[in-house]
């Protein structure tokens, strides 16, 4: 006989925060979060100092899965150029999903505006890690200016993610040629 383990109140709150803030934005109320998690407000405040702390913990909790879905494995045998293109192929693929709302970390930064907000700090770190990935690959691939290329790729990533997230544009057939042009211009192999 197997025993089904029910997620803890903390796990349910983290999942509700991830789901609702991605779908509806960070302005979602504490009541809605608690209702979706099946947890009382009292319990929420025993587990998290504030809604802000819950949001930051939720972003931290899902960072590993986000990165794993986006970046190639460290030892995948691809060239640096192919590794960068892989990231953008993932964005294109994810953007075709009906529930896609763009990069959750970019959305949090845009919505919050406050750089000192705990969730904004988590989002900033995740976005900086992506730029660092681009920089490392650009260096490995012999780009003429790895720092500039990394920033350009981050700009394309955020712009593509945002435009697809609001339904303004389809990424199919658009993102790969754009990134390829940047890689070519930087002399990246």
pLDDT tens for each residue of 76-119: 999 999 999 999 999 999 999 999 999 999 999 999 989 999 99
Residue 79 counted as domain residue? yes
Tally of domains in the chain:
1
Helix (H, G, I), strand (E, B) or coil at 17: helix
Residue 45 lies in a domain: no
Banded pLDDT at 147 (limits 50, 70, 90): very high
CA distance 44 to 50: 8
Range of the domain at 163: 60-185
In a domain, 8, yes or no: no
What CATH number has the domain bearing residue 173? 1.10.357.10
Q: Is residue 150 part of a domain?
A: yes
**43 belongs to a structural domain:** no
| 117 occurs within a structural domain | yes
The reply to whether 148 falls in a domain is: yes
The reply to whether 25 falls in a domain is no
Q: How confident is the model at residue 5 (pLDDT cuts 50, 70, 90)?
A: confident
pLDDT at 169 over 90: no
Answer whether 0.75 is exceeded by the pTM. Answer: yes
């Amino acid at each position: 006989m197997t025993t089904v383990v029910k997620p803890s109140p903390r796990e349910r709150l983290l999942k509700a925060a991830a789901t609702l803030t991605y779908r509806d934005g960070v302005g979602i109320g504490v009541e809605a979060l608690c209702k979706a998690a099946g947890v009382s407000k009292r319990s929420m405040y025993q587990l998290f100092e504030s809604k802000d702390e819950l949001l930051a913990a939720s972003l931290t909790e899902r960072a590993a899965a986000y990165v794993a879905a986006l970046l190639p494995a460290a030892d995948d045998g691809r060239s640096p150029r192919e590794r960068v293109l892989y990231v953008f192929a993932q964005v294109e693929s994810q953007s075709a999903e009906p529930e896609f709302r763009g990069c959750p970390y970019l959305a949090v930064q845009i919505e919050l505006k406050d750089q000192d907000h705990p969730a904004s700090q988590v989002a900033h770190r995740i976005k900086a890690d992506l730029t660092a990935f681009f920089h490392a690959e650009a260096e490995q691939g012999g780009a003429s200016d790895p720092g500039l290329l990394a920033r350009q790729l981050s700009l394309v990533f955020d712009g593509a993610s945002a435009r697809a997230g609001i339904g303004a544009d389809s990424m199919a057939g658009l993102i790969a040629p754009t990134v390829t042009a940047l890689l070519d211009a930087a002399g990246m192999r």
